Chain A
Amino acid sequence: MTDSTNKKDKLPADLIQSGKSPFDKTLGETMRSQGVSRRSFLKFCAATASMMAMSPAMIPKIAHALENARRPSVIWLSFQECTGCTESLTRAHAPSIESLIFDSISLDYHHTLQAAAGHAAEEAREIAMEENFGKYLLVVDGSIPMDNPGYSTIAGISNYDMLMESAKGAAAIIAVGTCATYGGIPHADPNPTGAVSVGDLIKDKPIINVPGCPPIPVVITGVLSHFLTFGTIPELDHIGRPKVFYGQSIHDRCYRRPFYDKGLFAETFDDEGARKGWCLYKLGCKGPTTYNACATTKWNNGTSFPIESGHPCIGCSEPDFWDGGGFYKALSMPTVDVTKAAIYTAAGAAAAGVALGAMNRSKKNAAAAAHADTTIDDLKK
């Protein structure tokens, strides 16, 4: 974390002599002054290319761009959120958050990660905004409550006021997490705080939406790296997401897709199909309608992703995923709540009730029939 007020007191002797602040230096100069070899720099670029889901053929271009890139000031605002997005960011492994913070960007304000608190923290934000007006990157996680500003404030400033004030001098805004991008869980029915997204309020700045609950760590750092490397925003889809990460559906990139094509589905979480790793579509998988990089980038340093762990995709990078009709309801099933429909039509209610009851019994019976007991032999395998 950089403390803007003391930056010059902490400059290395060689930089003081040269009169050049580390914040004026290019990334290549910064890394060389830290003793990082060109070979290490190439490795960094290769990892960055992979992280940005770019062709390895781009590595020389990335190296050239990064060599001449300057560290942008980044201001990170957290509104109605659970800190899951920051938790995710701090688990980014390529590059690590440490290298991103200290080598590649100047993270001048972040509630959770910064050492300063109270007035000193707000002062750091104001100084960063003033010194880098028009050039800093604004990152926002969390939605903004519009019913009553008092639902969420920071240092007595409402989320709305802080967002509008901070957005004025931003070169671009990155909305991180489904709350900031589409309202997320606070926006879920009945939306008690009147939560809205960043894009609902800001119309005159480029906004990059990085949804997910939370987003994949390297997708967050990948978007930051793209801005750092090329100084531009990546190509976006129709709801503001970088195509490079959100261009393909989970379903299209899923390793279980061949089972879907063959009509082989897990019907319950412990039947033969589940044990054999068949498609989870019938268990409510939202992979066919969800666009994200989980199936290739994966989680936990590339270890796996929810479907690989046996759970259907819940579609967390899509708008209103929380109100999608149920995480365990197959996409082909009607999303209308049968019990609500019953209120309006007595006759229909009777029929629907019978149908629902029968369906539930049938499903329960099928699950009981398909259930396989775990034996001692299984545990030894």
Chain B
Amino acid sequence: MSEAAIPVTGGVKFNIHIGDELTQNVKPLLHEVKHALENLIEKGETSIIDLRSIPLAPGEEDKILSTLGKGEVQARLNSLGLSEINETQYAGVWVVTHYNDEDSIISRFIEVTRMPEILSSQTEDIRAAYSSLTLDLDENQETNN
């Protein structure tokens, strides 16, 4: 069993070492992701897992994230603070991390889907964009006339 020191903000590390599967929740969670992928393939069902709702020891979340790795897509969203949307090395498995304005993580999800909903342009925003573009073009036309 490998060991990992507890990371502490500011780069300091306590002299405490922990096993990488202390709560034994790492493997079950990864299996949950596997079952979610199976559901996506067979039934087209999407799943979301809230990483903050599961008891994890220091270092275990990092273990999960490093196991999932990084894939081809990495998106950054600037909306009410930064959000990072990364596809993992397993296509269809995404890690979505939301930060607040102070760059603190406010929530982190594993989404098993073709594309996380938050990446899609939203209907309301598209309607607003249409109105805005129409207005801009009308104004331009008036200016040219």
Given contacts A40-B79, A277-B18, whether A296 and B54 have CB atoms under 8 Å apart is: yes
Instruction: Report the Cα distance A37→B80, complex, angstroms.
Output: 9
Question: When the two chains form the complex, which single residue of A96, A275, A304 contacts B15, counting CB atoms closer than 8 Å?
Answer: A275
List the B side residues contacting A378 at CB < 8 Å. Answer: 15
Looking at the complex, which of A157-165, A252-260, A320-328, A358-366 is the stretch in contact with chain B? A252-260
Q: Is A43 an interface residue when CB atoms closer than 8 A count as contact?
A: yes
CB neighbours of A381 from chain B (8 A): 5, 13, 15
With both beta carbons as reference points, the residue of chain A lying nearest to B104 in the complex is identified as: A301
Knowing A37-B122, A255-B22, A276-B17, say if A42 contacts B117 (CB, 8 Å). yes
- Which one, A44, A296, A303, A308, contacts B80 given CB within 8 A? A44
Residue A47 at the B interface, CB < 8 A?
yes
Say how far B75's CB is from chain A's closest CB, in angstroms: 12
Contacts of B128 in A (CB 8 A): 37
**Minimal Cβ-Cβ distance residue in B for A308:** B58
Would you call B27 an interface residue if the criterion is a C-beta within 8 Å of the partner chain's C-beta atoms?
A: no
B53 with A53: CB separation less than 8 A: yes
Decide: B118 and A42 in contact? CB cutoff 8 A.
yes
Map CB proximity to A onto B1-40 as digits: 1 under 8 Å, 0 otherwise: 0000110010001011110001110000000000000000
Contact present for B53 and A94 (CB under 8 Å): no
Which residues of B are found within 8 Å of A36, using beta-carbon distances?
80
- Contact call A296/B22, Cβ cutoff below 8 A: no
The answer to the question of A12 belonging to the interface, with a C-beta cut-off of 8 Å to chain B, is no
Name the interface residues of B68-119: CB closer than 8 Å to any CB of A.
Answer: 77, 79-80, 83, 96, 98, 100-102, 104-107, 109, 117-118
A302 at interface by CB-CB < 8 Å = yes
How many residues of A are counted as interface, with CB atoms below 8 angstroms from the partner's CB atoms? Answer: 45
Q: Is the CB–CB distance between A39 and B118 below 8 Å?
A: yes
A270 smallest CB distance to B (angstroms): 11
CB pair B109–A46 under 8 Å, yes or no, is yes
A296 neighbours in B (Cβ, 8 Å): 52-55
> Considering the chains assembled together, what is the distance between the CA atoms of A304 and B8 in angstroms?
9
Q: How far is the CA of A73 from the CA of B58 in the complex (A)?
A: 40
Which of B100, B104, B106 has the most A CB atoms < 10 Å from its CB? B106
User: Which chain A residue has the least Cβ–Cβ distance from B18?
Assistant: A277
| Complex: A301 Cα to B108 Cα, angstroms | 12
Most chain B CB atoms below 10 A, which of A32, A44, A47, A258? A47
Chain B residues near A38 (CB, 8 Å)?
122-125
- Binary flags per residue of A288-314, CB closer than 8 Å to B gives 1, else 0: 000000011100011110001010000
List residues of B whose CB falls within 8 A of some A CB: 5-6, 9, 13, 15-18, 22-24, 48-50, 52-58, 60, 77, 79-80, 83, 96, 98, 100-102, 104-107, 109, 117-118, 121-125, 128
